[in-house]
Structure 1
Amino acid sequence: MVIDGVEVPEDGADHVDHVGELLQRVAAGDDTAFARLYDMMSSRVFGLVLRVLVDRSQSEEVLQEVFLEIWQSASKFAPNRGQGRSWVLTMAHRRAVDRVRSSQASADRDVRVGFRDLEAPRDDVAESVEMRIEGRRVAEAVAALPEAQREAITLAYYGGYSQSEIATLLGSPLGTIKTRMRDGLSRLRTLMGVTT
């Protein structure tokens, strides 16, 4: 099966982390590997960033920042701790969230010094603070999940992959991926104190 231009083994075949291999070559300074990595991952990264930021021009800037960071820090990728795709998408999500926080901080500063309407509805400010706190809680809860569950959930929610695509990417049976996601989401609800 071919995903993002890369031959990916079917279920049961030996699974190879193509993105991870490219990251290791990028860490060694291989610019051809970097170009292949960009071709393979840029549309996924851009889609993820655009979902977080909504603004297309800011998303394009963040896309470039993410790949600059990949070029500079590919040596930090640890293949024994997860898939390359998850590492790249997590980095992209973190960058996008940082951009949102930076924009909000800038807007807050402008309000404090009088550049914007001082009569901003307090509900908007309270809602923004609440969303940031909740986002932090979710990130901490996801980080507390076992690696297999965290990886499946990260690929689904940050990467936009279907359960079938995740099964193919990870070389695991579809039922296993469904179980990891179900158990991971159940554990997230418990960690977040959500009752059903």
Structure 2
Amino acid sequence: MDDEELESALAGAVRGDSAAFACLWRAQQPALLRYLRVIVGDAAEDVASETWLQTARALRGFTGTAAGFRVWLFTIARNRAIDERRRVRRRPEEPRDLTERELPATYPDAATEVIQHSETDWALSVIATLPKEQAEAVTLRVVAGLDVAQTAQVLGKRPGAVRIASMRGLRRLAEHAEVQARRAASRPPLDLHSPRTEGV
């Protein structure tokens, strides 16, 4: 969805049009979930739901552009994520075995879905190994597609600090052992019989 379509959906959603709100959700939910997976891990779905609930409640009072809406949405998400991290620190959940009734249903295409999403999940898990500031900056810039100024607004930091955190995060990712191993595995093997290597 381009910014013009997003502006139109936003205007409708502010007026209370549920179909327009659904368009906003479909356009922003994938990037929002990816961001939250890096920030809160397995709680991403719950925090995303809380984010959209708060967004729906407050949307009638929103004034601004599509870009402003994205900043507002990710700021709400970040605040909900901070709340979730505090909640977990105060009351860590005890792991327990699920009964058969509580186990999620499996579907025939589950394996296909896992394969399709494995690269994204792998990338998010690697980003999540970065220091918190760098992980957030890289996720908002690269995964959510916010620019430096928008990312700075969400994080409550200066644009220069966001640029530095992003640059350091991307440098760390480039040096990450798993990233380098994947790069090496994707390079074609050196052909020792090719004319270029003869006489070397």
TM-score when normalising by structure 2: 0.47
Over alpha carbons, which structure has the higher Rg? 2
Larger relative contact order (CA 8 Å, sep ≥ 6):
1
